[in-house]
Structure 1
Amino acid sequence: MTRILVVDDHALIRKGLKLILDETLDLQVTGEAESGVQAISMAREQRYDLILLDISLPDKHGIDVLKQLKLDHPDIRVIMLSMHPEDHYGVRSLKAGALGYLNKQSAPDQLVDAIRQVLSGQKYISKSMAEQLLNSLIGESRELLHQTLSNREYQTLCLISSGRTLSEIADSMTLSPKTVSVYRTRMLEKMGFKNNAEAIHYAITHHLVETS
């Protein structure tokens, strides 16, 4: 039996994933975590064959959690889940050590296929993400401004655009406000923006943040 840890701060999402996997004969959700810290702790206390990890957690960014999980358990298999399109975090997740990236709106069969492919020792890459990777390798892709940012700079952009203050962002990223301010400055410089308002407008226009 394959033991799976589901990490998501929404109970309904965790329940839905469990129901999908319970319909299989060999995949079983044996652990649930609602935060990054809890996921890291549970993975240290018990062995899991695979982790389904939400990229948007309340305490830590999913990519930061992924990096810590890989430090603790280099061979751990992780599939990232997100409401964001693949061009936002897909390639970043793979570079950080994930073996797959799935949009939460994917069909149940696609989730199961992705899990089985990762368990077989392969990476799960959708057709659109494979195209992105190929284009970047042969130099035919035109990088959008946000794709030039480091992970920390990109997180800062998204959190500022979500209405967070520097101190709130610092708490979320477990950094000092001064360090976050440095990331903000670098982000604005790389993107050629003069202030937060221009960055927020860009993020909303490119659907990098959820708007009601």
Structure 2
Amino acid sequence: MNPVTDTGPAAPLRVLLADDHRIVREGLKQVFSDPANGLPEIRVVAEATGGTELLAQLSSRAAEDRPLDLDVVLLDIAMPGQDGLELLQCLRQRWPALPVLMLSTYPERQYAVRCLKLGAAGYLNKSADPDDMVAAVRKVAAGGRYLSPATAEALAQAMGPALSGPRPPPGGAPLGVAAIDSLSHREHQVFRLLSSGHSVSQIGAQLKLAVNTVSTYRARVLEKTGARNDVELALLARGHPLD
């Protein structure tokens, strides 16, 4: 006699949603709870509004390589405290088997490739269609990678500069895509604005940061990229699409 096979409904996919904007969290929970989305059901079982809270939530659920009662982490890039890119690297080191799907309002061409290189299972723009959001969660929970058409295009465009970017200066740090990819979220923001001709004071006003803080970020950007001044940053940016 053949054994009885369980054909019941699929177990719900359990999501930790990390975003500091309540309206975003509530909106995503509404999308995932819509009965029209079918099975498997997606449930937000935990929420975090910052990096410290996110790491505490995960640590309380930790097993060796992934939290026991989670299938996916949805992580906003622009998180208070540690930014999303720094948190992504931390999560990949501590819980390598836990899929992380990045959330952002930034266009795919700015951050999608960086997120994938750092180990994200996908990149999801907050303006995406609800059906795409549901599909993204299901795909990464199943062990796949979610690539929207815009992300796939960004990956294709990144191949050219990665292969033919500027050569390293003699005795200096490497110039090119790899150096830009090493920048944190805030450093990358400063890099984009500097290379667009903004002054330190203008950047401070736009990002709501003290001038001294912006100067510190500028120094880090110069050190990591090997550029000597803002002109060289602008030249570097030409081979790395930013907008």
Taking structure 1 as the reference length, the TM-score comes to 0.76
In structure 2, what is the equivalent of residue 16 of structure 1? Answer: 27
Give the stretch that moved more between structures: 92-101 or 22-31: 22-31
In structure 2, what is the equivalent of residue 183 of structure 1? Answer: 220
Distance 1:151 1:164, change over 3 A: farther
Structure 1 contact 157–187 (Cα < 8 Å) conserved: no
**1:85 equivalenced with 2:93 (yes/no):** no
Give the stretch that moved more between structures: 94-103 or 118-127: 118-127
Give distance in 1, aligned partners of 2:130 and 2:90: 28
Give distance in 2, aligned partners of 1:88 and 1:191: 23
In structure 2, what is the equivalent of residue 155 of structure 1? Answer: 186
Code of the aligned partner of 2:221: R
In structure 2, what is the equivalent of residue 43 of structure 1? Answer: 58
- Which has the larger helix fraction? 1
Give distance in 1, aligned partners of 2:94 and 2:184: 25
Code of the aligned partner of 2:44: V
- The two structures, once aligned, show a CA RMSD in angstroms of 3.4
Distance 1:134 1:150, change over 3 A: closer
Give distance in 1, aligned partners of 2:22 and 2:103: 15
**1:102 equivalenced with 2:124 (yes/no):** yes
SS in structure 2 at match of 1:53: strand
Q: Deviations over 1:80-123 (max 9, x none)?
A: 00000001110000011110001100011010011111122210
Taking only the aligned residue pairs, the percentage that are identical comes to: 29
Structure 2 contact 13–71 (Cα < 8 Å) conserved: yes
In structure 1, what is the equivalent of residue 209 of structure 2? Answer: 164
Which runs of no fewer than 5 residues in structure 2 stay unpaired?
A: 1-11, 62-66, 167-174, 191-199
Q: Deviations over 1:110-158 (max 9, x none)?
A: 1001111112221001122223323444669887999551332663241
**1:2 equivalenced with 2:13 (yes/no):** yes
**1:66 equivalenced with 2:88 (yes/no):** yes
Structure 1 contact 7–52 (Cα < 8 Å) conserved: yes
Code of the aligned partner of 1:165: A
